[in-house]
Amino acid sequence: MAELNTAEGGSKKKHGGKKRSKKMSTKVDLTPMVDLAFLLITFFMLTTTLNKPNAMELSMPKKEKDQKEQLQIDKGRLLTLILDKDDVVWYYEGDIKALEDPTALKKSEFANEKGIRDIIYDKQNRLQTEYGNKDTMICIIKTIDDAVYGNVVDALDEMDITDVSRFAYQEPAPQEKEAVLRKRNEK
C-alpha cells in the first residue's frame, strides 16, 4: 500500500568521509482508495430513492349501491364549466334548468382577458358578499367529446390557483351538449 524508498547516500570518498543521512521518499498507492470511492458511489446510487412525481390529490366519492338520497345544493352556489375543443370553455351559473334561457351559456377561454380565472374570482366575490364565505362555491367540470386532456388539467389547475375547495368532474348531460352545439353553430 505504501512503501518507503531509501536511497544510498553515495560513496564516502566524495564527501570526505562524513556519514550522510539516508534520504527517504514516500510513495502512497491510491488505487485501493479509488476502488473504495467507486464502491461507495455505486452503493449510494443504487440505494437512494429518486423523487417521485407529485400528482394532485383528488378525493373521489365512494359508490354505494343503495344510495338514493341526493344532496340538495343552493343553485346560486353552482358554476358549471364545459370544456370544448380549441381551448374554449363554456360556462353557466346555477343548475341545468338555467340552460332553458339561451343566453345562460357563455363562452370563455383559459388565457384571455376575461378568462375562466376571472370568472371564478367574480363568482367567489359575489358569494363572499352574499354568504360571507367564498368557499361556498361549487364548480362542476364537464367535457365535450372534442375536448383535449390538457384542458382538463388546465381546469384542475385553475381550481387549485383560485382556491376552489369544492369541485367535481361529471359527464355532460344531453341538454348541455345540445346547448354547446347550438352556440357553436351560431357563429
Give me the residue spans of the domains in the chain.
Answer: 75-186
Quote the pLDDT of residue 61.
66
* This prediction's pTM: 0.62
Task: Characterize 35-70 residue by residue with b for buried, 16 or more Cβ atoms within 10 angstroms of its Cβ, and e for exposed.
Answer: eeeeeeeeeeeeeeeeeeeeeeeeeeeeeeeeeeee
Cell of residue 128, nine digits: 363572499
Quote the pLDDT of residue 35.
92
Q: Which residues in the chain land under pLDDT 50? A: none
For 75-186, CATH gives 3.30.420
